[in-house]
Amino acid sequence: MEIEKQPIKYDTFVEDLPYDCEVFIRISDNVLEKEDWPVNLLIIRDGLVVKEEEICPGAYRFEYMEGWTTHELCLWSQYDSTGSHPENYHEIHLT
């Protein structure tokens, strides 16, 4: 799947997700190039992540997220690394 060819908007500080959906997640920063940021696809059913698939490998590694709730995923997106170097951002795109 070619992520770069799609106009995808990622969000941080996500407050709510549907109980049945698919999302792309990525970890970006203020140092590396876009192609160095990892992207995973999560399939969510009944409010739980039931499948996780690596779409684009990158410089950062995701935690194992199968079994996470949508609430835990929203909290993950609210990670704030302001003041650290590099500043990392946990981002979600609802498909």
Domain ranges of the chain: 21-94
| pTM across the whole model | 0.88
Residue type, 37: W
**CB contact at 8 A, 59 and 32:** yes
pLDDT tens profile 32-60: 999 999 999 999 999 999 999 999 999 99
CA distances from 19 to 26, 55, 59, 62, 94 (A): 20, 22, 30, 21, 12
3-state secondary structure 75-91: HHHCCCCCCCCCCEEEE
pLDDT bracket for residue 4 (50, 70, 90): low
**CB contact at 8 A, 4 and 24:** no
